[in-house]
Amino acid sequence: MLIRRHPALLTALAILALFTLTVTLMSEAYGSGALATSTVKLLGKTLCLALAALAMDLVWGYAGILSLGHMAFFALGGYMIGQWLMYARTAEIVGRTLAAAPIPPTPAELRDGIAGQIFGVVGSADLPWSWSLAGSLPAQLVLVLAVPGLLALGFGWLAFRSRVNGVYLSILTQAMTLALALWLFQNDAGFRGNNGLSGLQNIPGQAHVPQSVIAVRFLWGSAFALACGFLLATWITGGKFGSVIRAIRDDETRVRFLGYPVETFKLAVFTLSAMICAVAGALYYPQAGIINPAEMMPIASIYLAVWVAIGGRGRIYGAVIGAIAVSLLSSWFTGGRAPDLRLGGYTVHWVDWWQVLLGLGFVAVTLFVPRGLSSIWDATAGLRHPARRGADLGPDAGALQEREAEA
Amino acid sequence: MRRLLTLLLTLLLAGPLAAQDLGTVLATHHAEITQPSRQTIGPVIEAVAKAGGAEVLAAWAERRLGVADDGRLAIVHEGGAEDALTGAPVAGKVKTLRPNSGVRSLIAAALVPAQLGDPDPATRAAALDAIARAPDAGQLAALRDAPADPDPALAARRDRLQRLLAIRFDPDPAARTAAIDSFGTDTGADFQAALNPLLATSRVAGPALPADANIARELTPGTDDLPAADAYRLLVEAGLVPARLTDAEQRAALTAHAKNGAVGGVPVAELSDPARRDAAYDALAAQGLVPAAATAAEADAALAAHRFADIYAEPDPAVTDAARGALRAMALREGAARTADMALDAISLASIYFLAAIGLAITFGVMGVINMAHGEFIMMGAYTGYVVQTLIANRTLSLIVALPAAFLVTALAGVVLYRLVIRRLARRPLETLLATFGVSIALQQIAKNIFGTQARPLTAPAWLEGSVGWGEAISISTIRVAILVLALLFLALFLVVMNRTRLGLQVRAVMQNPGMAASMGISPERIAMLTFGLGSGIAGIAGVAIGLFAKVTSELGNDYIVQSFMTVVVGGVGNIWGTLAGAALIGGLQKGIEVLNPGNTLAAQTFMILFIIVFIQFRPRGIIPQRGRAAAA
């Protein structure tokens, strides 16, 4: 039913499946070994970033809320799963050490041993209350969704209720992620300060499984999550709910006057998108291996917005394409593998100049190709948008322009 | 006998009466002087000092007094030696005496009364120094008995020293409290040092508290002041109760007695349960293999049966009360001084935020766009200052050149940014925000490519170094005063431009209603460009100011951009007083939280941001909201 209404969905899912199959067949674990394990991990992480971008597109491209703090939810998801990974893994190691002693350890001794191992680096030996559920995988999986979801719910309720919108809301979300990052940077916040959580690539109970296999499994997981996210986003935006949130984006006051509870719609889409972001983060950080509060500094969230904008906001595949293209290009250029460019007397080292290229390229995309990379798809599909030179949709200066609104 | 003869001879030869007495004293105590002991030498030194042997004592203390071959005491000089009594040269070898430090301090103390009456002010000052360094009870009398000092400064010092010694050593409690009261509002470190020992306490525990003790306060075990574990340790140290068994000791004892897979009849496999461990230990204790340990209930009973208190070493409550009162008053005055100092810091921080945010506020107010590259304009201004400084060696001159240069460079950059980017994105505030962010990352990386990643110094001229201060606790560095002046200057300049010039009139018109302004012949685009240039230029000047006290790096702007946003958002757009109020609120708040939670600036910033998020709930448009049609946008 969904596919009949959105034929592009089938193409997207097919491409994703083909991609996953190709990478699997080229991996070291299940195939020819043409792709190194680190590359497989990079591709898996990129799929997670694409999922985060998709969530960002839901709030920004469809609901018109430019959140500059979405990576906070992403990193929080990572922290929640990281707690279990680190706790369970340390428990294995400590348990093995203590089992060698002549007397079996009491549960309290085991706990103290784990706490000492995890929090020794920040000069503490007590397990903070926030870690009381860390030993249980189901509990932490629930927290992956619950903690970012509740944060988004609380923050969104406060912000939307008092009609904070536009630039103010963007700055406020940025403040939120900065406050969270600064709080986590403290050693006594209970999340190991700027050390963050590490060793996340070691899956508890899977010590015998080589990293190459784990990398491919996480790639499958990430691809599956992205496919689910794609389906969910298409279903939501394709229905009545989608029409309402697009209407809110284009003229919030008018929708309110028509009798829709604007705040509830905004809150719902904001919270949902935060939870999708958290899932992406929970899949991302076990592949990255380490998470620290620097990951949720405001700059990360702005990059997320940049990906969506370059890919083309207001369309789901646009966000996904943007995230994949920009993050892969980024790691190619900054990885030092891009050939240097000789310009007369000056050699351009891409490691130094990639940021400049990205920044200026982004400005150019915003100025000249507001629909981003997805306008290429539009062109191939023969979609033409009437050039109305961007007249106002609404009567006042704050109303969006047609050029944005129809996207 | 022969020695006595020589002595008589010398006595006859040497005329003065005092010398005769000194000679007798020296002769009587010859053995004790050559072989001094700290316990017995006191009276001897006193006798020598009374006989007027200050010179001998001084030489003795400095290890220049010696015994000649014939037994005479001689004072050794660089050139040779002379007789201690007559001053006649002494031939032959002189063996110098080496009194230990205890004896030397006694000699020094004995010298004090004489030195206090010395005609030379330097000697009297040195004597006071010696007392202040090592005060003791004996010197109090010397200070009181010595003749009045003619020099008023030294007299005041002596009086102060005498009162300080009275606080510590006077036998009469009333005199001590009077001495404490005589200091009034003094906060000197020496006064504090005299008071603190009076309030030294020791912690005691017992079935009952000693009746005659001067009790500072009674403690209840299990509170923050006295955790139950500490209280129990006190009882153990006092020998009142047996020691408790720690988990580690229990574990060690069980491990030591593990036999055939069981301890005290309990299988080892069951020992992961704490209750089974206790059972096993009790079984071992019953067999007499390990000492019995107090159980938790016994420990609690012991704590309940005993009393705990801090007791002053000083027995008189009147003295301790006076000392505590004086210290409390001192702490209060210091707290007031610190508050004043903190307020100065907060004002200084607020002026920095104001300077950084004013440009942002102008552009946001006039065009409703947030310029994310604003922080990079600050950075650009700081680097301009650095470049100017490398070109002009004279620091004062370079600073004078750097301020307008930074303004020009960043204003030009602002105009270029406006023409190329912002104008094309008119009325799309969110896209402007993101596009200027793109500019921001490009500018940051370009700065990094040109100037490198290490911090560049922007040195202030010598007359801006140092600090201005009042009293001990209140001080502020001159640079920060200069920044405050700069901020006030810009506030005045802004007010004049906005309210008294044609440009200001046009800017206000465009801000309130662009359409109407345009139909009156004002070009909104030109005005927007000019205000954008003005705002960017002020950012450049803020950059020079910030660079003077912070290191100039390509990430300089990042540190100030979020605070600048907060300032604008909290203050309200389009009104300079709003920006001022926002800067004052944020600067004051940040300092205030830092004081409540010292040493933790991270927490301070977190709480500040949380406060702002909540604040926005109640004043969504800032402290001074924009009015008129523009507000609806």
Per-residue pLDDT reduced to its tens digit, B584-603: 988 888 888 877 776 667 77
Q: Does A104 touch chain B (CB under 8 A)?
A: yes
pLDDT tens, B23-33? 777 777 777 77
Nearest residue on chain B to A102, alpha-carbon basis: B255
Whole domain around residue B52: which residue ranges?
2-116
Task: Please name the residue that has the structure tokens 């889409």.
Answer: A269
pLDDT of residue A383: 66
B146 belongs to a structural domain: no
pLDDT over 90 percentage in chain A: 44
pLDDT of residue B14: 46
Distance from CA of A228 to the nearest CA of B (A): 29
Nearest residue on chain A to B600, alpha-carbon basis: A186
- Inter-chain CB proximity B428 and A404 less than 8 Å: yes
CA–CA separation, B614 and A303 (whole Å): 26
What interface predicted TM-score (ipTM) does this complex get? 0.82
CA–CA separation, B398 and B386 (whole Å): 9
Q: How many CB atoms lie within 10 A of CB A17?
A: 12
pLDDT of residue A275: 96
A18 band by pLDDT with thresholds 50, 70 and 90? very high
Distance from CA of B459 to the nearest CA of A (A): 28
Q: At what angle do helices B556-571 and A167-185 cross, to 10 degrees?
A: 130
Contacts of B255 in chain A (CB under 8 A): 101-103
Residue among A302, A318, A407 nearest A359 (CA): A302
Q: Are residues B345 and B236 in the same domain?
A: no
B579 belongs to a structural domain: yes
pLDDT of residue B214: 79
CA–CA separation, B294 and B302 (whole Å): 10
For an interface test with B, which of A157, A299, A355 has the most B Cβ atoms less than 10 Å from its Cβ?
A355
CA distances from B170 to A159, A251, A294, B136, B174 (A): 68, 86, 62, 10, 9
Who has greater pLDDT, A137 or B169? A137
Q: Does B604 touch chain A (CB under 8 A)?
A: no
Who has greater pLDDT, A237 or B86? A237
Q: How many CB atoms lie within 10 A of CB A213?
A: 16
B133 residue type, one letter: R
The residues near B57 (Cβ < 8 Å, ≥ 6 apart) are B45, B48, B49, B107, B110, B111
A184 belongs to a structural domain: yes
Residue among B326, B323, B413 nearest B371 (CA): B413
A67 belongs to a structural domain: yes
A91-95, B9-13, B222-226: range with lowest mean pLDDT: B9-13
For chain A, the average pLDDT equals 86
Number of domains into which chain A is organized = 1
pLDDT of residue B3: 58
Q: Are residues B346 and B470 in the same domain?
A: yes
Q: Are residues B452 and B569 in the same domain?
A: yes
Who has greater pLDDT, A345 or B378? B378
Q: Identify the CATH number of the domain in which residue B358 sits.
A: 1.10.3470
Hey, what are B40's tokens? 């017995």
Who has greater pLDDT, B313 or A87? A87
pLDDT of residue A293: 93
Q: Does B368 touch chain A (CB under 8 A)?
A: yes
Which residue among B116, B139, B161 closes a domain? B116
In a 3-state reduction of DSSP, which class is residue B66?
strand
pLDDT of residue B629: 47
pLDDT tens, A106-127? 888 888 888 888 888 887 778 8
B37 belongs to a structural domain: yes
Q: What is the mean pLDDT of residues B135-157?
A: 76
Task: Please name the residue that has the structure tokens 């939670």.
Answer: B597
Chain A, residues 274-313, CB within 8 A of chain B, namely: 298-299, 302, 305-306, 309
Q: What is the mean pLDDT of residues B552-578?
A: 82
Q: Are residues B350 and B480 in the same domain?
A: yes
A214 band by pLDDT with thresholds 50, 70 and 90? very high
pLDDT of residue B245: 74
pLDDT tens, B43-72? 777 777 777 777 777 777 777 777 877 777
Residue among A58, A21, A43 nearest A315 (CA): A58
Task: Classify B410 in phi/psi space as left (phi over 0), alpha (psi -120 to 50) or beta.
Answer: alpha
- Inter-chain CB proximity A176 and B609 less than 8 Å: yes
**A289 in Cβ contact with A196 (< 8 Å):** no
pLDDT at position A392 over 50:
no
Q: What is the mean pLDDT of residues B538-565?
A: 86
pLDDT of residue A34: 87
Q: What is the mean pLDDT of residues B282-294?
A: 77
pLDDT at position B87 over 80:
no
Who has greater pLDDT, B247 or A64? A64
Q: Are residues B82 and B224 in the same domain?
A: no
A1 band by pLDDT with thresholds 50, 70 and 90? low
Residue among A131, A25, A5, A28 nearest A80 (CA): A131
B215 belongs to a structural domain: yes
**Residue B272 is nearest to which of A105, A161, A170, comparing CB atoms?**
A105
DSSP letter at B632?
G
B454 belongs to a structural domain: yes
pLDDT at position A390 over 60:
no
B450 belongs to a structural domain: yes
pLDDT at position A401 over 70:
no
Who has greater pLDDT, B603 or A133? A133
A383 belongs to a structural domain: no
**Residue A401 is nearest to which of B427, B444, B446, comparing CB atoms?**
B427
pLDDT of residue A387: 52
Number of domains into which chain B is organized = 3
B158 belongs to a structural domain: no
pLDDT tens, B207-224? 777 777 777 777 787 777
pLDDT of residue A396: 44
Q: Are residues B435 and B584 in the same domain?
A: yes
A256-270, B201-215, B387-401, B524-538: range with lowest mean pLDDT: B201-215
pLDDT at position B20 over 60:
no
Q: Are residues B278 and B400 in the same domain?
A: no
- Inter-chain CB proximity B271 and A104 less than 8 Å: yes
Q: Are residues B533 and B621 in the same domain?
A: yes
A233 band by pLDDT with thresholds 50, 70 and 90? very high
Chain B, residues 227-266, CB within 8 A of chain A, namely: 247, 251, 254-255, 258, 263
B134 belongs to a structural domain: no
Distance from CA of A160 to the nearest CA of B (A): 9
Which residue among B116, B138, B155 closes a domain? B116
CA–CA separation, B607 and B582 (whole Å): 16
A342 belongs to a structural domain: no
B537 band by pLDDT with thresholds 50, 70 and 90? very high
Whole domain around residue A20: which residue ranges?
2-334
For chain B, the average pLDDT equals 80
Q: Does A370 touch chain B (CB under 8 A)?
A: yes
Provide the sign of the torsion angle of the four alpha carbons B433, B439, B445, B450, taken in this order.
Answer: negative
The residues near B380 (Cβ < 8 Å, ≥ 6 apart) are B406, B409, B410, B413, B443, B447, B540, B543
Q: Are residues B455 and B551 in the same domain?
A: yes
The pair phi, psi for residue A152, each rounded to 5°, is -65, -40
Q: Are residues B502 and B357 in the same domain?
A: yes
CA–CA separation, B512 and B524 (whole Å): 11
pLDDT of residue B447: 92
A128-132, A204-208, B461-465: range with lowest mean pLDDT: B461-465
pLDDT of residue A394: 44
pLDDT tens, A363-389? 988 888 877 888 887 778 766 655 544
B19 band by pLDDT with thresholds 50, 70 and 90? very low
Q: What is the mean pLDDT of residues B391-395?
A: 88
B627 band by pLDDT with thresholds 50, 70 and 90? low
Who has greater pLDDT, A218 or B204? A218
Q: Are residues B272 and B362 in the same domain?
A: no
A402 belongs to a structural domain: no
Which residue among B84, B116, B148 closes a domain? B116
Q: Are residues B534 and B593 in the same domain?
A: yes
Contacts of B620 in chain A (CB under 8 A): 162-164, 168
